[in-house]
Amino acid sequence: MPYVTAYEGEALAYQLVVEPSAEATEGIRLSYVDAVETDRLYGALWYRQGITKTGRPLWKLINTPRQRRCMMRLLCQVCGRSTVDDDGRIWWLMPEPPGTTGGGMPFTHVPPCCRACIPVARAMCPRLRHKALVYTARDAEPFGVVADLYRPAAGLKAVLLQHAVEVPLDAFRRLDFALATQLLVSLDDLQRTEA
Ligand SMILES: [Zn+2]
């Protein structure tokens, strides 16, 4: 099973709420009823999910903590080990070309993939089999999040507005009402290559 795949047993119960906050652009932000400091990173609230790998694997779903760990530590989405080769290049297998940030940098939600796992990843995923693109990059930096966006409603309630939206980390106002599910990274010196 790929490292980033989510499992049924990793679902956690949670309750969203709107809370006053001096750090928020408009003085209020999305939170959990029982929020702790580790629920927040890069200005966003993060989707709570376990890392037990118990229960049935959910093939199409990505585990949020493991996806974020892969991005921050440049770990392989298949085996969970380092994706940096001897030349210091980070390897990627992407189903489509990366997006472009406002500043003109390529960015992606896809975690890196070590060189050894590229054939494995191709074989496992029908989407990747034929048209997957192999890239290397010199560096990857947090750029944004994929998030569900909420809006405040009466009684400090949070109402879902949009599902799976890309939000840059400098969009502070939108981040205040984002529930992040994946980390986006911008890619420095990205180059197409062959596996
Ligand atoms: Zn690997």
Between the CA of 77 and the centroid of ligand 1 the distance, in Å, is 7
pLDDT tens column, 135-163: 999 999 999 999 999 999 999 999 999 99
pLDDT confidence of 130, banded at 50, 70, 90? confident
Question: What's the CA-to-centroid distance between 34 and ligand 1, angstroms?
Answer: 36
Q: Nearest-CA neighbor of 53 among 109, 99, 95, 4?
A: 4
Closest to 66 in 3D by CA, of 1, 138, 135, 120: 1
> How confident is the model over 16-58, as pLDDT tens digits?
999 999 999 999 999 999 999 999 999 999 999 999 999 999 9
Strands 106-108 and 99-100, sheet pairing:
antiparallel
Burial of 143 per CB tally in 10 Å (0-12, 13-18, 19+): buried
Distance, CA 159 to ligand 1 centroid (Å)? 39
Q: With a cut of 70, say whether residue 134 has pLDDT above it.
A: yes
Calculate the alpha carbon distances from 79 to 35, 85, 111, 145, 146 in Å.
Answer: 31, 15, 11, 23, 23
Nearest partner of 94 among 67, 134, 154, judged by Cα: 134
Q: How many separate domains does the chain show?
A: 1
What is the extent of the structural domain holding 106?
5-193
Model pLDDT for residues 80-118, shown as the tens digit of each residue: 999 999 999 999 999 889 999 999 999 999 999 999 999
For 175-193, what is each residue's pLDDT tens digit? 999 999 999 999 999 999 9
The overall average pLDDT reported for the chain is 95
Residue partners of 6: CB distance under 8 A and separation at least 6: 49, 57, 58, 61, 62, 63, 64
The alpha carbon of 133 and the centre of ligand 1 are apart by a number of angstroms equal to 16
pLDDT of residue 124: 78
Q: What distance in angstroms lies between residue 170's CA and the mean position of ligand 1's atoms?
A: 31
Give the chain's end-to-end CA distance (angstroms, integer): 21
SS3 state of residue 165? strand
96 CA → ligand 1 middle, Å: 19
The model's confidence at residue 128, banded by pLDDT at 50, 70 and 90, is low
Q: Specify the pLDDT at position 191.
A: 97
CA 128 – ligand 1 centroid, Å: 15
